[in-house]
């Protein structure tokens, strides 16, 4: 059973702090192993990829078989039921349309001194997407990671996906084809991340790597950061639901379990102003776990990391929400707007009783790649700007330069950078040497 906290209890502050600070990551320390794999791929390239694929995915490959062929992609797509293809198309259209609104506008103006100032945006040249394989099959994540890059104008998008025992997941390849990705490699793990970062004879390097993965993938992304960009180091999934007693307890229980089923380290939290409603939701969670296919995972998550928090008034919720900074925040209320306005930190906010978090995972439009582990305090969900760079622009004529330079020379001299001062003063026809 999940823990119950009551904001009116004398021990609440201590218990809530413990909930917020609780470490949920259960990944083993794999840094040394990952470092060795990355070094091996840098040294041996394709040969290392082939060896690791045989070892971990039980597949004997040659260099020319690392890439999944267009015929294999087409065959996988054709094998998907029509309703799956239709659902992917529906989701893709909504995701692409939403992200099109994120395209930034260039900045270009002259200030009062006549200095031209601006900023321009350009897409990165190449992006790499890691897609989990094995028991995980997330075609929706393919769409969520690829389409912002496509909207940004990235010309080369590369996908890597492990195929244990040679198994190709049709829906994943169908999603890739639909999103316009044709360069796909049947490799996974830290070795795939290394190949994307450093390149091999077969795989050209990329500029940024995005997408979820296991502990080895996460650690590999951490280690190659700086050589390439990355989206984030994702932690276990999480949801926080705020609801009064007007909601159907079965609905709220289902929403909590929708995230608990991801991982035993996932977290589901309910905040309500009605203790009786909290009890009804808890009873519904117990009942629904009996027929949930991933019930064992969800039950472990709920028992270890789940919580219900009873407050005297719902206006206590924003401070609690901001402390947790949840990945997903549901406000299951008749009028969620005032509470949503008061919240500062949340990855995605779902407003009203008919907007479950699960709608955002697939077809709402906004990205489902969101900050976890309280990182919503300082980061945002994946978007178009993550696949673009911004260059500032400055242009002075003789007059505007003369207006700026004296102050710049003074600052350069204070910092002891005489070369900087000379580069400025020489254009004014005087020396900055003392």
Catalytic residue status for 327: yes
Q: Catalytic residue among 169, 264, 327, 357, which?
A: 327
Distance CA 111, CA 396 (A): 11
Residue 367 burial (CB < 10 Å; 0-12/13-18/19+)?
A: buried
For residue 366, which of 329, 320, 318 has the smallest C-alpha distance?
329
Among candidates 329, 373, 343, which has minimal Cα distance to 240? 329
Tell me, yes or no, if 328 is annotated catalytic: yes
Among residues 99, 262, 328, 345, the one annotated as catalytic is: 328
* CA distances in angstroms from 172 to 142, 147, 293, 353, 358, listed in the order given: 7, 14, 21, 31, 19
Q: Return the sign of the alpha-carbon dihedral for residues 363, 366, 372, 376.
A: negative
Spatial CB neighbours of 388, under 8 Å, sequence gap ≥ 6: 104, 121, 122, 123, 124, 152, 153
Angle CA 320–263–257, to nearest 5: 60
Which residues are part of the catalytic machinery? 327-328
């Amino acid at each position: 059973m999940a823990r119950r906290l009551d904001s009116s209890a004398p021990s609440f502050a201590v218990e809530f702090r413990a909930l917020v600070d609780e470490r949920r990551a259960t990944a083993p320390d794999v840094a040394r192993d990952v470092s060795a794999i990355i070094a091996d791929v840098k040294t041996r390239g394709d040969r290392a990829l082939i060896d690791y694929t045989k070892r971990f995915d039980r597949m004997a490959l040659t260099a020319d078989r690392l890439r999944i062929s267009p015929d294999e992609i087409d065959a996988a797509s054709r094998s998907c039921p029509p309703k799956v293809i239709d659902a992917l198309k529906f989701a893709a259209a909504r995701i692409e349309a939403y992200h099109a609104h994120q395209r930034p506008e260039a900045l270009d103006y002259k200030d009062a001194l006549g200095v031209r100032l601006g900023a321009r945006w350009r897409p990165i040249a190449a992006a790499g997407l890691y897609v989990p394989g094995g028991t995980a099959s997330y075609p929706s994540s393919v769409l969520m990671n690829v389409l912002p890059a496509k909207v940004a104008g990235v010309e080369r998008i590369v996908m890597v996906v492990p195929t244990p025992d040679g198994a190709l997941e049709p829906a994943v390849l169908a999603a890739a084809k639909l999103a316009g990705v044709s360069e796909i490699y049947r490799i996974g793990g830290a070795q795939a991340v290394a190949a994307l970062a450093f390149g091999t004879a077969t795989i050209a390097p990329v500029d940024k790597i995005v997408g979820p993965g296991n502990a080895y993938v996460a650690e590999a992304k951490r280690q190659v950061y700086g050589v390439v960009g990355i989206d984030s180091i994702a932690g276990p999934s999480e949801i926080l639901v705020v609801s009064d007693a007007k909601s159907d307890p079965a609905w709220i229980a289902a929403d909590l379990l929708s995230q608990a089923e991801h991982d035993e380290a996932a977290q589901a939290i309910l905040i309500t102003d009605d203790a009786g409603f909290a009890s009804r939701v808890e009873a519904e969670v117990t009942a629904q776990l009996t027929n949930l296919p991933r019930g064992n995972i969800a039950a472990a998550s709920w028992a270890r990391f789940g919580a219900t928090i009873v407050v005297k008034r719902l206006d206590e919720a924003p401070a609690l929400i901001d402390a947790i900074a949840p990945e997903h925040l549901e406000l299951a209320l008749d009028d969620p707007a005032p509470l949503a306005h008061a919240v500062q930190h949340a990855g995605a906010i779902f407003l009203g009783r008919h907007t479950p978090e699960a709608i955002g995972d697939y077809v709402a439009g906004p990205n489902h790649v969101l900050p976890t582990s309280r990182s919503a305090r300082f980061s945002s969900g994946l978007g178009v700007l993550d696949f673009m760079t911004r260059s500032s622009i400055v242009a002075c004529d003789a007059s505007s330069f003369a207006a700026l330079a004296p102050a710049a020379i003074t600052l350069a001299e204070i910092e002891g950078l005489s070369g900087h001062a000379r580069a400025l003063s020489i254009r004014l026809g005087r020396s900055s040497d003392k």
